[in-house]
Amino acid sequence: MLITCWVRAGAVLLSLVVVGAACGSDDKKQSSPTTTEATISPEDPTGIRTVVNRDPVRKLIVEVTGARTGKFEGSVKIKALTRVTAGEHKEFSVAAIEPLDQLRLPDGTIIKPEIGIVGIYTGDGTYEIPAGLGQAPTTGPTVPFPATSTSAVSVGSVTFINEGPPLVEKRYNYLLEPCKVTLSDQATVGTAECPKLVAIDGEQITLKYTWGP
């Protein structure tokens, strides 16, 4: 049985096709509420393998400095998706990490970090999200869009949400410098350092993000 899953990576939806297994959706019929693993049949020449780890509790530390400052530290549930492909389909490989619990700073502001590696993920290791990705600011410095298309939909960003009223959201998602990301244990353990994330108005922040047992 073929099942198609849609996975969000930045602003891009990727279609993941797996055989004979659930795809980490919220379907209550899954055999396991915490980990879903699906593997393409061995005869498939692409060797696609998708693993979704849902609900493992991890200690998260999210620290932001610069135009905005704040630090979250606590144990929360996360979702870590990894998809390893081979050959001509390697552009669809992905590793994405998403907190499933709300992260709230001491002043009440909600903070949402996003890390997604697309097109270059091959397993445990250290990766670089290229500079030039994200929504370019209307003022201030910019850099050329990366020439390598395989990682062009990767994402490194932080969104601040003030529930108000009024509701105010501000997203820092333009990479003026590359983000360094280290992943292990199917992306359920890792670090991300983004030295210069820029909002559309030119404000800059630095992100340091770790998650693990």
pLDDT digits (tens, 9 = 90+) for 147-161: 666 677 899 999 999
> Does residue 3 sit within a domain?
no
pLDDT above 90 covers a percentage of the chain that reads 62
- Which residue has 């994330």 as its token pair? 197
In DSSP notation, 151-199 reads GTT-EEEEEEEE-SSSPEEEEE-EESSPEEEEEETTTTEEEEEEEEEE-
Structural domain includes residue 9: no
| Highest-pLDDT range among 21-30, 47-56, 159-168 | 159-168
Q: Does some domain include residue 25?
A: no
For residue range 92-131, list pLDDT tens digits in order.
Answer: 889 999 999 999 999 999 999 999 999 889 999 999 999 9
Model confidence at 33, pLDDT cuts 50, 70, 90, reads very low
Overall number of domains in the chain: 1
Tokens of 10: 């930045």
Asked whether 151 and 117 are in contact (CB, 8 A), the reply is yes
17 within a domain of the structure (yes/no): no
Question: Is position 36 within any domain?
Answer: no
First-to-final CA distance of the chain: 35
Helices of type H across 81-124: none
- Give domain status of residue 74, yes or no: yes
pLDDT of residue 130: 93
Residue 10 lies in a domain: no
Which stretch of DSSP H or E encloses residue 63?
Answer: strand 49-66
- Determine the structural domain holding residue 182 and report its residue range: 48-212
pTM over 0.85: no
Domain-embedded: residue 15: no
